Amino acid sequence: MALNGYVFCITGELSMRREEFLSILENAGAETKSSISSKVTHLICSDTSNQKYAKAISLGIPIISELATMAILSSGGAQKKRSSEQAMGYAAEVSNKKMPPAGVGVLFDMTADSNNNNSSGNLADGETVQVPNSKGNGFYTIKNVGGTYSCSCPAWKNQKSPINARTCKRIKAFRGEQAEQQRLGSVPVTTTASKSKAGKSKAATTAAPKSGGLVQPGKCMLAQTWSDNRNASDYILSEKLDGVRAIWDGTQLLTRSGIAMDAPAYFIQGLPTNMSLDGELFAGRGVENFNLASGIIRSSNGGDKWRALAYVVFDAPSAPGGFEQRLATANNAILGHQFAKIHQHAVCRDEEHLQQELARVKEMGGEGIMMRKKNSAYKFSRSVDLLKVKFFEDDEAIVVGVEGGKGKYEGHIGKLVCRFRNGTEFLAGTGLKDADRAQSSAYWIGKVVTVQYQDLFEKTGKPRCPSIKGIRTDLDVLDFSSAIMHALLD
């Protein structure tokens, strides 16, 4: 039968009577359990605030929705089951305390009328929720950041308009047509007619405002790691800042993943409207200042708190010429700005000069050195023309669980269960403050964090001496969970 080998546990509300749903599962060959154990293959969940959810996460059991369960059933059970080492389920996509009730969000039926004006699909700031694709074999993620709604679907990503002027049929279906019109406000959405192959006209909606091609939303130049066989004198060096990456597209500041930041008007007033800028929102050196900057940017209404930040610019992607020319152009564009300034650079004379600068930055509590190839072009990808020289390695990981503390931390969080993009799982507790440890597991699970470490163990790939550096708000959780989701849905 379609669900032979599947063992389900259910928590939260369903769109049908529980007895009826259990009967459907059992008639299809599945087993059902009233409690979570290692024998359970999937938790069907609409409420992440209870113990079943927490235990499923700790055991690595995938969390799926009622709708996803029906999709597995309709596909004949074709979706692969996986071990706790292969996937953590859909739960990482939901970073708030409670999923929406049946019929909304992860349980939302995309076959519903998208013109429904009575939808109650509003997300809190920073909240994400999944909606199924039209084929019923996968999901897209809708996210609200500072009132700007984004969707991971291609239709939303491929639009050329500013981030805050975009929408798609999934956001409209989730929030309601009227709510979306009110959100977009004065941003007009134009409809044009195009001819299909059959000669019939069909509507194509695109948001009118354009970014002018100044940036590629969700893309920026990323660094590779410095190697000693390179000629240091071919590069221009600068201190590696420990801040939050921010891209100026001529109208707004965007995160590295292309989401609009809720920067106050006074902070961005006077930035150039005819060119893009690339830089870091920086509060100073050290973990405390990184967390300060990250917290301000995470706030939906940071207000005067943004005055503690500087927008330190180190490139101008849309400006003509090589790196040196672009930097000079950016300097002229922001000269005298209250909050924006050009990052200091110097031509690297040789390897000895690089090591001297590295020692100087380390003494000041900095993070390392960035090396930019002379006269290099800006690339919207990872490039050998931009290299990092660091004292320690660091990488991002997603929190998939927690371990209880001992001794003075008994009753609080002791360590976070983290997972790198490649699936390597490890524990990290160093770097957590008392306030961090006092948070609930629901607060941490699904968060993306930066982990600093010495190196990786050769056999296991786990980090040596990992330390939690802070929460990353500028990266999309999908970056970490898409491969895991494919393991469930392929």
Characterize the bridge pairing of strands 253-254 and 244-248: antiparallel
Q: How far apart are CA 386 and CA 245, in angstroms?
A: 15
- What number is the average pLDDT over the span 465-470? 88
CATH of the domain at 269: 3.30.470.30
Could you give the C-alpha distances from 92 to 24, 96, 141, 159, in angstroms and in order?
A: 27, 10, 11, 26
Q: How far apart are CA 209 and CA 187, in angstroms?
A: 7
Please give the pLDDT value at position 281. Answer: 96
Band (pLDDT 50/70/90 cuts) for residue 228 is confident
Characterize the bridge pairing of strands 235-239 and 346-347: antiparallel
Quick check: 286 and 273 in contact, CB under 8 A?
Answer: no
CATH of the domain at 412: 2.40.50.140
- For residue 1, being part of any structural domain is answered with no
71 and 114 co-located in one domain: no
382 and 253 co-located in one domain: yes
232 and 285 co-located in one domain: yes
Q: How far apart are CA 121 and CA 179, in angstroms?
A: 9
177 and 135 co-located in one domain: yes
Quick check: 448 and 471 in contact, CB under 8 A?
Answer: yes
Q: Ranked by mean pLDDT, which of 170-184, 206-220, 291-305, 412-426 comes out on top?
A: 412-426
Band (pLDDT 50/70/90 cuts) for residue 133 is low
The contacts of residue 113 (CB under 8 Å, 6+ apart) are 173
Domain that holds residue 151: 108-207
Q: Ranked by mean pLDDT, which of 143-152, 449-458, 470-479 comes out on top?
A: 449-458
Please give the pLDDT value at position 207. Answer: 31
164 and 288 co-located in one domain: no
Band (pLDDT 50/70/90 cuts) for residue 327 is very high
- For residue 2, being part of any structural domain is answered with no
- What number is the average pLDDT over the span 306-317? 95
240 catalytically annotated: yes
- For residue 354, being part of any structural domain is answered with yes
Structure tokens at 47: 């409420």
- For residue 441, being part of any structural domain is answered with yes
CB atoms within 10 A of CB 300: 12
Q: Is the pLDDT of residue 294 over 80?
A: yes
Q: Percentages helix, strand, coil for the chain, rounded to the nearest 5?
A: 25, 25, 45
Lowest-pLDDT range of 296-300, 323-327, 472-476 = 472-476
Q: Is the pLDDT of residue 488 over 60?
A: no
Q: Which residues of 461-473 are buried (b: 16+ CB within 10 A; e: fewer)?
A: eebeebbbbbbbb
DSSP, res 274: S
Q: Which residue has the higher pLDDT, 129 or 355?
A: 355
Q: How far apart are CA 297 and CA 30, in angstroms?
A: 46
Band (pLDDT 50/70/90 cuts) for residue 480 is low
Q: Please say which residue of 366, 390, 414 terminates a domain.
A: 390
Q: How far apart are CA 418 and CA 467, in angstroms?
A: 11
Q: Please say which residue of 85, 102, 119 terminates a domain.
A: 102
86 and 173 co-located in one domain: no
375 and 437 co-located in one domain: no
- For residue 291, being part of any structural domain is answered with yes
- For residue 478, being part of any structural domain is answered with no
Q: Which residue has the higher pLDDT, 160 or 277?
A: 277
**Structural element, H or E, at residue 323:** helix 323-334
Q: Per the structure, how many domains does the chain have?
A: 4
Closest CA to 159 of 201, 218, 118, 112: 218
246 and 162 co-located in one domain: no
- For residue 423, being part of any structural domain is answered with yes
255 and 147 co-located in one domain: no
Amino acid residing at 222: L
Band (pLDDT 50/70/90 cuts) for residue 484 is very low
Task: Please write the tens of the pLDDT for every residue from 439-459.
Answer: 988 889 888 899 988 778 888
Could you give the C-alpha distances from 30 to 13, 56, 69, in angstroms and in order?
A: 20, 18, 11
- For residue 371, being part of any structural domain is answered with yes
Choosing from 52, 172, 240, 447, the catalytic residue is 240
Q: What is the dihedral of CA 265, 269, 272, 274, to 10 degrees?
A: 50
Could you give the C-alpha distances from 76 to 1, 64, 132, 138, in angstroms and in order?
A: 8, 17, 18, 15
279 and 406 co-located in one domain: no
Instruction: Tell me the sheet residues that pair with 449.
Output: 397, 471
Q: Is the pLDDT of residue 78 over 60?
A: no
DSSP character string of 121-183: ----TT-EEEEE-TTSS-EEEEEEETTEEEE-SHHHHT--S-GGG---HHHHHHH-HHHHHHH
Distance of alpha carbon 282 from the chain centroid: 20
241 and 350 co-located in one domain: yes
98 and 112 co-located in one domain: no
Q: Which residue has the higher pLDDT, 255 or 64?
A: 255
CATH of the domain at 22: 3.40.50.10190
Distance of alpha carbon 377 from the chain centroid: 27
Structure tokens at 335: 């000269």
Distance of alpha carbon 234 from the chain centroid: 34
Q: Is the pLDDT of residue 145 over 70?
A: yes
Model-level pTM?
0.48
Q: Please say which residue of 390, 421, 437 terminates a domain.
A: 390
